[in-house]
């Protein structure tokens, strides 16, 4: 379970964002900052669930040494993502949109990373740019 700790924590925290979906919030027409924050949180929760599945699927293809390397890469990516999004939102720090900007950035970075992981997961045998399995 230790290998999944960063993803389990993010997944657990994402459960906190699900109420906006349960309440039937129309994110296409969100008007208040609170609604926009909830929509951004729901988007991040959805993207987190998707990347967690991709991570688990890809990890099963790796040998133990690759799994350790992959974990290090993912932990570095999480740190990069967090720092990058904090920087991106620094222009609105202290403002009402700050949380939404950070959360939207985290969702987008997660979406992009998932595409990278999906590409690795789809590697064909003999592709030298992919880990061998």
- Residue 23 is predicted with a pLDDT of 59
The neighbour count for residue 55, using CB atoms within 10 Å, is: 21
- Residue 58 is predicted with a pLDDT of 95
Residue 121 vs residues 21, 59, 69: alpha-carbon distances, Å: 30, 9, 15
The pLDDT of residue 7 is above 90: no
User: Mean of the pLDDT values across residues 115-123?
Assistant: 94
DSSP class per residue in 60-101: TTS-HHHHHHHHHHHHHHHHHHHHHHHHHTGGGTTSTTHHHH
For the four alpha carbons of 87, 92, 98 and 100, in that order, the dihedral sign comes to: negative
- Residue 21 is predicted with a pLDDT of 46
- Residue 46 is predicted with a pLDDT of 96
Instruction: Give residue-wise pLDDT tens across range 33-45.
Output: 988 999 999 999 9
The pLDDT of residue 1 is above 50: no
Is residue 129 a contact partner of residue 66, using CB atoms and an 8 Å limit? no
User: Mean of the pLDDT values across residues 17-34?
Assistant: 70
Instruction: Give residue-wise pLDDT tens across range 77-89.
Output: 999 999 999 999 9
Quick one: pLDDT band at residue 8, thresholds 50, 70, 90? very low
DSSP state of 122: T
Q: How many CA atoms lie within 13 A of 8 on its CB side?
A: 5
Task: Specify the pTM.
Answer: 0.78
């Amino acid at each position: 379970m230790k290998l999944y700790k960063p993803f389990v924590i993010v997944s657990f925290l994402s459960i906190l964002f699900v109420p906006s979906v349960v309440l039937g919030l129309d994110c296409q027409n969100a008007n208040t900052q609170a609604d926009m924050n909830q929509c951004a949180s729901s988007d991040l929760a959805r993207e987190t669930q998707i990347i967690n599945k991709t991570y688990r699927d890809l990890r099963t293809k790796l040998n133990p040494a690759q799994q350790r390397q992959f974990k290090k890469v993912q932990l570095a990516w999480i740190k990069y993502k967090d720092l990058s999004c904090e920087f991106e939102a620094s222009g609105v720090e202290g403002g009402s949109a700050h949380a939404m900007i950070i959360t939207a950035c985290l969702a987008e970075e997660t979406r992009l990373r998932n595409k990278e992981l999906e590409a690795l997961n789809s590697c064909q045998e003999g592709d030298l740019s992919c880990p061998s399995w």
